[in-house]
Amino acid sequence: MDKLVEEIVAFRDERDWKQFHNPKDLAISLNLEASELLELFQWKSSDETVNRNKSEIQDELADVMYYALLMCHDLGINPKQALLDKLKKNAEKYPVDKAFGSNKKYTEF
């Protein structure tokens, strides 16, 4: 993960883009890329989109990860630890005995 983040930061820095990458604009870019991913599924079934647009899905997911990892780097957040911490919180909110096979939100248990 560290090597990947180093490559992302090097890509950005080689182009002198850090000046544009404040937390607000990174969050906006992250949202825009997630919206581009969502757009691939618009008006189609999930299976249809996956079967017809897998490489585009891959590209949009890469863009989302790019901005998420860059934002983590710039804010001093360890992405692996952030994910592990969030999984722990979600495990508390969604205990297996209540959440198994359910699509209910934790507030509905």
pLDDT of residue 54: 97
DSSP output for 69-80: HHHHHHHT--HH
First-to-final CA distance of the chain: 36
pLDDT in tens, 50-96: 999 999 999 999 999 999 999 999 999 999 999 999 999 999 999 99
Residue 70 CB: number of other CB atoms within 10 A? 21
Say how far apart CA 90 and CA 24 lie, in whole Å.
26
Residue 24 CB: number of other CB atoms within 10 A? 8
**Across residues 22-50, what is the average pLDDT?**
97
On whether the CB atoms of residues 9 and 57 are closer than 8 A, the answer is no
